[in-house]
Structure 1
């Protein structure tokens, strides 16, 4: 066992972690929207990264195997998560019908669009993260790959996956500010919220249908 093995496992964990989270989904859509609006970016990114760290650690410890052994819990999460996603999707559709814009100097909402409070934003991102049953399937997948690395390397794999989460959510949350000029136009928000609405409802329907 040498340093190359450690870096290889960490690199594999980084690539696997990114492959699982870099996709159009409820959590990413919410982080992107908050980043564009410039609202509570640091706590939102921190909550996402910390949640992923806890989930990845659970997978490395073998919790994923326990989750897959309790299908009833996954079914309950599926329907609860589906209800939440559809509700959030309908809210996004409502926003799309009444689009807002940003003042580029302040990043504040106009046209009556109220800023989301910190508690509400954190609660929403926690729900989008922990009520998604697919995340627990990801735990099982990460756990199985980590265990294949062996006892000495599995935590290097986990560390790589955690780093991938930090890099991705930081890039998404803080990088979104470069899109603010584009979203200074109400029509841009109409497209974004319309896309979010379709994504959320489709994800919710997929959960109900067992996709």
Structure 2
């Protein structure tokens, strides 16, 4: 269920800094951990500016690893406790300057993202169950038995131990998740400039994300011992 948060005029004079609005959507308002299907979350990011902007994708976790911190947050609407940076997706990057480089090029253009004015850029992510062995709690219990228990893999939910049964969580975006440095213009325009020997200017001006619409969901989990979570 979508919840509007802001209603601002997106028109801007060319002299102002860009802004990026975020609209978050979910397919269901109930997240049942006994049903082992991905719980999908849609993130639409829209640039409000007079020209496109381009930035290195890996510098903005919300674009390719939104469950890390800074990224998406999940706030318990009852006690206002926020959960961030513990999601099921953790990516590690091993790059060298020769491959990625400080500026866009033909060899590294897949590492860059362009946002175009008033055109939503969609990011799809999800909580996904995994086939896992025993949790640490179950391993201790098994070691105390007189007979050896066979290792059985079952479906579990990564990093869900902080989510409580029958509690409602609102999705947000953590502070510090915005664009920290960027280049004016589209990726294609920048590559054409570089072919002509022109070096584009980096803008070291932070663009915060403004959440304008979000979603809330209720968690259903009958496992009082947390056995549906992993690890």
TM range (shorter): under 0.3
Structure having the higher strand fraction is: 2
Query: Greater Rg, structure 1 or structure 2?
Result: 2
* TM-score normalised by structure 1 residue count: 0.24
